[in-house]
Every structure is written in C-alpha cells, then in structure tokens.
Amino acid sequence: MDLKVENGCIKEDKGLGWGKSLPVQSVQEIVRNGYQSVPERYIQEIKDRPSSISSESLQASLQIPIIDFSLLAKGDEHETRKLDLACKEWGFFQIRNHGVQVKILQKMKAAMAAFFELPLMEKKKYAMGANDLEGYGQAYVVSEEQKLDWCDLVALKTHPLEQRNLNFWPLNLPGFKEAVEEYSIEVQKVAEEINANLSILMGMERDGLKRYQGELKQLMRMNYYPPCSSPDLVVGVSPHSDGGSLTVLLQDDDIIGLQIKHKGGWIPVKPIPNALVVNIGDAIEIMSNGVYKSIEHRAITNEKKARISAATFAHVDDELEIGPLDSMVDDPHRPPMYKKIKYIDYIRQVLARKMDGKAHTDLVKIQT
Ligand code: OGA
Ligand code: NI
C-alpha cells in the first residue's frame, strides 16, 4: 500500500488493483504556458495521425443509429430491433429522450469545466496514486517512449457508493459532488435499461445480464482535450475499445471529437445536442459471442477550442468470470469464440498495455 504525503496530510492509496499509469505533464498546462510547436512526445507517427474530416465520413456519420430511449423503455419492438442492429453493425449509437434532464447534463458539464479550470496545484491534490488509475492525471501511459495523448483526465469510481474514494473528489469545488452524483444516478438507469433490452435480445429475461454481471460498477472518466495548434499531428485519445460492459458518453454539443472505426474508415460521431452516445464494451462483445461489437474509437482535438467529455463505464463485478453466454452459443453452428476469463484479469490485461485498437479482445479470442 502506498502512502502519499500531500499538503502535510497523508493520503492512503488503496489502489483499484486494476493497473497503473506513469505520471506525465498536464497537457492543459503545456497549453496554458504557451508553446512554440507541439512537443515531440505528442506528435503521432504518420500512420496514426488523423486526417481532416472528409465529406464522405460526415455523410456516413448521419447513418450512425439514433435510438429513442423512451420507446425502448416501453418495449417498442421496432426500437428494440434498431438497438439490435446498432449493436451488431456499429457498436455505437446515440440516444434521445433518455429521460436525463437537460439541467442535469448542463450541471455535469459545468462541474467538469470548473474542475479543469482550477490551478494545477489544486488539481494535483487529487492526482492518481502510483498504483492506481483513479484520480487526476493521464491513463494508459506504460512506457517513457510511447506517444502521448493530447488529453488530461480525472477518473472517479461513482457507483456503488461504498466504492467511492472521496479523497479524489474535489469536495471544496462548489456543486461538483452534487452534479456528479445526480448524473451518476441517471446514467446508471440508462445503462440498466439498455442492459435489460440486450438481455431480451440475447434470449434471456430482462434481468439476464444483471444476474450474470452482478451489480454494474460505474467509473467516470472525465476528459479534457485542450485546443491544439496542429490537430493533424496529435490525437486526443488513441484508438481503443472500451473494456467494460457499456459506455455512456456525454460529449460537447458543438465540437466534433469522437470518431469510430467503421468499414475500415474513421467516422465522426456528430454531436446531437443533449443526446448521449452509447457504445458496447469488450465484456458485452465477449458475452454475446461476438454478435455485438465493441468498436475501436478515438478522439481528435480541435484547433481553437477545448473539448470536455464524460465517459461513464459500466463494469462487471471484478471476481466474475466472463465468457460467451449459453444463449449465444450454438455448437457446432456458432461455437464459443472467446475463452472464459475472470473480469479483473481481463481488465488488468487491458490496462497494462498502451491503447492499441482491438488488441485486447483478440487476446481472449479462440483461434479457429
Ligand atoms: C473514452 C473515450 C471519447 C471522447 O474516454 O474511453 O473513448 O470523445 N472518450 O472523449
Ligand atoms: Ni473509449
């Protein structure tokens, strides 16, 4: 167990036990201090640099499914079929009429903006510990050589309540805790309803996934992408798939940043004001035996404006084993495509490597 001494008080670092990330400089601070050119460690290899958004990709963006959550919650068959197709073909969709009040979304956005506006010294009080990924810092930094993302973040465990570690919460920032708490409750409802619908689609009762996954644990990753003078040289977050069950993303209404891999190309997810973006994570891909796709995605930066997002990950209970669900396996027509693995072993393996597209699910794929 590590002990951190900060501002004269000792902070106990309990550790997520999920992995660690090497400390690196705040990107927001690089920008605040002014820079002549983008520092070398952030300049991506040519093959990894984002090209500017083409009109074709913007056109394809319009095909990303938009689901009316209120219909889904009523059990509307047409909407349920849309969800099925969205998870099979895109792995990503946007939801409208999700029932989360606009006021709650706005408060959440304002709380994140206020946190990142704090002076560095203040934010550092909530810095990630040496053995942890919770707190303020950067994730997935595993070597001194790797290229870095143009992003700062703060990650907080938000649900269940006993997993919260308030040492990482800026409690003296007015309204922050309340905004995160309110948003957390609402996002949990959204994730549970989507899981209930997926359970039915996967041939189970509404509570099928819940029984299998245990109570969903919620981790919020609040991302701050500072503006970058050369957005074509850097990435905000490198290509990756999300390890968990589902992710709900609250993104900026005006700035395009998120891009998803579709048919070999990068397609932007154009923000719809007050909608939420949902994507399937690796755990559901594995449980659905590959029917639902955990799609590779990344974020690009903006030349003029900072972009803030909140990715809320629903995680399976650490100790549970994940593998293809019985209802999704039909040997010999559809044999199991993934090995069974304890969730925590999967997540540790994901977090121990630099984000690298879909390399993680490949590790548990049964080679045929
Ligand atoms: C993430 C993520 C995308 C975004 O945090 O996992 O993919 O647009 N974020 O911030
Ligand atoms: Ni992601």
Give tens-digit pLDDT for 173-187: 999 999 999 999 999
Q: Ligand 1: which atom is nearest the Cα of residue 313?
A: 6
Residue type, 148: L
13 pLDDT higher than 70: no
Any atom of ligand 1 within 6 Å of the Cβ of 297: yes
Q: How far apart are CA 112 and CA 114, in angstroms?
A: 5
Q: Is residue 30 part of a domain?
A: no
Nearest one of 62, 51, 59, 61 to 268, comparing CA atoms: 61
Q: How far apart are CA 263 and CA 198, in angstroms?
A: 24
Which of the residue ranges 150-154, 165-169, 226-230, 349-353 would you say has the lowest mean pLDDT?
349-353
Q: How far apart are CA 76 and CA 129, in angstroms?
A: 46
Any atom of ligand 1 within 6 Å of the Cβ of 251: yes
Give the closest ligand to the alpha carbon of residue 300.
Answer: 1
Q: Is residue 9 part of a domain?
A: no
Contact by Cβ (8 Å): 351, 19 = yes
Q: Is residue 23 part of a domain?
A: no
Give the closest ligand to the alpha carbon of residue 242.
Answer: 2
**pLDDT tens track for 313-345:** 999 998 999 999 999 999 889 999 999 999 999
* pLDDT at 347 (0 to 100): 87
* pLDDT at 158 (0 to 100): 98
pTM of the model: 0.93
Strand partners, 154: 136, 222
Give the closest ligand to the alpha carbon of residue 312.
Answer: 1
Q: Considering just the CA atoms, what is the radius of gyration of the chain in Å?
A: 20
85 pLDDT higher than 70: yes
Q: Ligand 1: which atom is nearest the Cα of residue 153?
A: 5
44 pLDDT higher than 70: yes
Q: Is residue 154 part of a domain?
A: yes
Q: Is residue 31 part of a domain?
A: no
Residue type, 280: I
237 burial (CB, 10 Å; 0-12 / 13-18 / 19+) is: buried
Report the C-alpha dihedral over residues 103, 109, 111, 113, rounded to 10 degrees: -150
What is the CA(327)–ligand 1 centre distance, in A? 31
169 pLDDT higher than 80: yes
* pLDDT at 113 (0 to 100): 98
Q: What is the mean pLDDT of residues 48-70?
A: 92
Please tell me the total count of domains within the chain: 1
Owner of token pair 């999704």: 328
Residue type, 169: W
User: Domain holding 58: CATH number?
Assistant: 2.60.120.330
Q: What is the mean pLDDT of residues 80-106?
A: 98
Q: Is residue 351 part of a domain?
A: yes
Nearest one of 209, 189, 346, 218 to 284, comparing CA atoms: 209
Whole-number percent of the chain with pLDDT over 90: 77
Q: Is residue 261 part of a domain?
A: yes
What is the CA(241)–ligand 2 centre distance, in A? 6
Q: Is residue 29 part of a domain?
A: no
Which residue segment(s) compose the domain that 282 sits in? 40-364
